[in-house]
Structure 1
Amino acid sequence: MMDRLLRVTALLVVVMSLSAPLARAQTAAPAPSADALAAARELVTTIHFVDQFKALMPTLMTSLKPAIVQGRSEVERDYDALMPVMLAAFQARFSELSEAVAIVYANNFTPDDLRGLIAFYKTPVGQKFLAKSPALTQQSLLAGQKFGQSVSVELRQRMIEELRKKGHNI
């Protein structure tokens, strides 16, 4: 169960990392300028942010499945039937996400910065990066999971050893 929770959490982190400034967003940030917001909206469109997020939604739903289904075949059958319905329902909210991410970008970059990013993503290497982003995200998630698993085992063992040195019976 904990491994599944870690995978879902890692997936959510990856989803949020598609918009790195999102992690630094402040809830009381001042409203961005109209120029910055317009450039940020264009950037969000240029990087196909919504399409990238849409591509991750089935993976997210699949990751949630074991925790919800818990080995019950009747729940699994209904979950599988509901998955396309749920995905379609959330499709309607992607414009809300797009606008929220545009505001985050507008609050973290100047209009000139945003135009520079747009220019980059319109270059051949920028387009290549965007085309490879889903695979890069998936591979990065797997690498992060493997790293997290190996570090957690080592960290746990070392912590136990250190606590034992301090006289704890662990």
Structure 2
Amino acid sequence: MIRHSLAGAILSLALLAAPALAQQAPSPEHLKAARDVVVSSGLAQSFDSIYTEFVAGVRQSVGTTRPELKKDIDEILASLKDDAEAKRNEIVDTSARAFAGKMTEPDLKEVAAFFNSPVGQRYNTFRPEVIDEIFTVMQPWSVATSNLLYDRFYAEMRKRGHQL
């Protein structure tokens, strides 16, 4: 699941990327606009599942083998929530800086306006499902495409008299 979340984040970044702009230090307003894009685009939500999945993993691995520790496990996991939120904010800020380094403040405001619009919100509603569908077909497609290209490459090399 983390793979899907991170892959979704990467795909979202790729879909929103624009030509690089020469900027040294974006203004606070520029960073705010970039952060709005990260949040309104749903990219920030991609980072939310990391803590949830961590909690589920700990409860599954430790909680099932040591059920007598449930109270301590729950208390410790709850105490880690603030740390997880701080780390989430860190990657949101890093993502915002990446956008601010690539896009102008006016462009970022337009992108955020799109994601805050009804159609942008619908896009965000369906984006996780679409990403899951893409990943379902991506692995076999990647293998098939690679095999096709290798077969054609070797056939062309044979036509030119090369045996590999």
Say whether the fold is shared (TM-score over 0.5): yes
The runs of 4+ residues in structure 1 deviating greater than 6 Å are 22-26
Separation (CA, whole Å) in 2 of partners of 1:141 and 1:41: 27
Identity of aligned residues (%): 27
1:52 deviates by: 1.9
Q: Distance in 2 between matches of 1:97 and 1:126?
A: 22
**How many pairs were matched up?**
140
1:99 is aligned to 2:93: yes
Note the C-alpha offset of 1:121. 1.1
In structure 2, how many angstroms separate the alpha carbons of the residues matched to 1:25 and 1:97?
20
SS of residue in 2 equivalent to 1:168: coil
In 2, distance between residues paired with 1:109 and 1:22?
A: 8
CA contact (8 A) 1:25 1:104 kept: no
Larger Rg computed on CA atoms: 2
Q: Determine the C-alpha separation between the residues in 2 that align with 1:100 and 1:25.
A: 16
Question: 2:113 corresponds to which residue?
Answer: 119
Structure 1 length as normaliser, TM-score?
Answer: 0.64
Consecutive unaligned residues in structure 2, runs of 5 or more:
63-76
Q: In structure 2, what is the Cα distance between the partners aligned to 1:169 and 1:39?
A: 57
Q: How far has the Cα of 1:50 moved from its partner?
A: 2.2
Check conservation: 1:43, 1:118, Cα contact below 8 A.
yes
User: Are the aligned partners of 1:41 and 1:102 in contact in 2 as well (CA < 8 Å)?
Assistant: yes
1:164 equivalent in structure 2: 158
> How far 1:53 sits from its partner (Å)?
3.3
1:42 and 2:36 aligned: yes
Cα distance in structure 2, aligned partners of 1:141 and 1:126 = 22
* Unmatched segments (≥5 aa) in structure 1: 1-7, 62-77
Whole-angstrom distance in 1 between the partners of 2:160 and 2:84: 52
**Structure 2 equivalent of residue 51 of structure 1:** 45
- Note the C-alpha offset of 1:109: 1.8
Aligned to 2:131: 137
TM-score by length of 2: 0.66
Is the Cα–Cα contact under 8 Å of residues 20 and 103 in structure 2 kept in the other structure? Answer: no
RMSD: 3.6
